[in-house]
Structure 1
Amino acid sequence: MRPESPFCPTLVAWGNAWLAGHVGLDEAVDHAETVGGPAVVGAVSLRGYLADLRSDGLTELRLALPAPGDPLGLSGPPEFNSAAIDAGEAVVAVLSERCLGLVPAPDLRGSSYVGVRLAVHESRPARHDLPSMAEAEQELSAAIRSATEALTDVDGPAQDRPDQLGRAGGELAPGYPGRAHRLSALAARLAAVLRVADERGLTSGQIATRGAALRELDRAVRRALVAAHHAIFEPLRNQ
């Protein structure tokens, strides 16, 4: 799976809302399965697996949106990092005495069944040196300015420009601050633009210019999404 499918972000947002007492487990799982289809962990349903993790001391879910050369949200070991980078997304389940890494893959059965199968890996403690919302907002604003200038200079298609975006989801769950909702929605809209950006009709120089700007924007978008999805815990850490 890739970040185009918002399965891990949705699972993290609604899973944390459940852990914080804002929604029930059924509602959290229903939202995750709405975007990914029925989800299983081995032979266990996602609902049953999360309930078991809660009994084992699950306290929070952390989002990882890594890319080659940028293991955002990952802390190892290498086997988990490699699988998460290949998938483009992962969830780190933080328990009282250990962490587990969940990596999604398409679960295809027969001609019509489409779901998600989560592989479980041992994970090192979740990273807490990730950007805060304030830092992510600043980085995203700077990347938007740079990308807008680059795309304007090369006269790329209008739909590729960050100042001409449509809606593309990015909704968080109850319990998240309004600032996090706004940051996540903006980052998701930008992610949609990055997915459809192409290089048709550009010279090699224009492609290089736009490519650098879009890579910078992609990094800022992923960092913003991670920061927004972890914002439900920021007040606790700042007390």
Structure 2
Amino acid sequence: MDSPISAALVSWGNAWLTGHVGLDEAVDRVERVAGPQVVEVGDPPAETTLRAFLVDQRIEGLSSFRLALPIPGDPLGLTGPPAFNGGAIDAGQAAIAVLPGRCVGLVPSPDRRGSSYSGIRWTATEASATVPDLPSLAEAEHMLTAAIRSATEALLAVDGPAQGFPSLDDTEDTLAPGYPGRAHRVGALAARLSLALRLADERGLTSGQLGTRSEALRELDRAVRRARVAAHHAIVESGQPQI
């Protein structure tokens, strides 16, 4: 999915859970990203609205959301079980609702009904309560800076068509109120680079040039995804001074 809907749910969900925005505002901002949203829960599956799902989970002790941005070979943010991991990897994203002693994994998919309705359907399944091994915001920012420098050096050595890199004004910082300034800064840079990676144009390059650039972009993508995850978790980090 091209839509950053999992990031939006994690950002605004955490802002709601930490008291920086109300539930109605949080749901409204998430639905602005990709339209109306429903959650499929239970077995047999039953459909409920995103707002009702959040209220129910809050009653059960929902304390925070985590973001997963996995790709094949790099299950970033995932700790199982395999059924949830597989769905999240196929979607390229997921949100994990953290409750006392357990987690609920939420995998988004397009929800189209007829010619006019277009939204998101979240499939809720049990997820492992194991905390994933993720970098802190400071570590992720350092990794991203190093990856940018390395990728720039590699790409400058490759002749070929110029790439279109969007300015910061062309990308949206999806973080909600309550996040530290450093998280907004890292999140905005990661969002810009994520868009640049999607716009990368391979036409007109030789196989050798493609290999050089592919490796550089692969490492940059890895750092970008970690920076986005770390930025979206920063609001619930404890004992981590932010500037």
Task: Give me the TM-score of the superposition, normalised by structure 2.
Answer: 0.92
Name the counterpart of 1:22. 20
**Does 2:175 match 1:177?**
no
Q: Quick check: 1:61–1:94 contact (8 Å CA) kept in 2?
A: yes
Task: Give the deviation of 1:158 after TM superposition.
Answer: 3.3
Residue type of the alignment partner of 2:12:
W
Name the counterpart of 1:122. 126
**Residue 102 (structure 2) aligned to one of 75, 98, 107:** 98
1:149-178 Cα distance to aligned partner (Å, 9 max, x none): 12211134433469x766311331111000
Q: Partners in 2 of 1:184 and 1:78 — Cα distance?
A: 29
Name the counterpart of 1:63. 67
Name the counterpart of 2:226. 223
Consecutive unaligned residues of structure 2, counting only runs of 5 or more, are: 41-46
Name the counterpart of 2:58. 54
Task: Give the deviation of 1:110 after TM superposition.
Answer: 0.5
**Residue 215 (structure 2) aligned to one of 196, 201, 212:** 212
Say if 1:105 and 1:131 are closer, same or farther in 2 by CA, change over 3 A. Answer: same
Name the counterpart of 2:146. 142
Name the counterpart of 2:158. 154
TM-align CA RMSD? 1.6
Secondary structure, counterpart of 2:20 in structure 1: coil
Secondary structure, counterpart of 2:230 in structure 1: helix
**Does 2:86 match 1:82?**
yes
Consecutive unaligned residues of structure 1, counting only runs of 5 or more, are: none
Residue type of the alignment partner of 1:28:
A
Task: Give me the TM-score of the superposition, normalised by structure 1.
Answer: 0.94
Aligned residues with identical type, % of pairs = 65
1:36-56 Cα distance to aligned partner (Å, 9 max, x none): 110001221101100100001
Residue type of the alignment partner of 1:19:
L
**Does 2:201 match 1:198?**
yes
Aligned residues: 235
**Residue 37 (structure 2) aligned to one of 39, 49, 52:** 39
Q: Quick check: 1:151–1:161 contact (8 Å CA) kept in 2?
A: no
Q: Quick check: 1:166–1:189 contact (8 Å CA) kept in 2?
A: no
Q: Partners in 1 of 2:196 and 2:122 — Cα distance?
A: 27
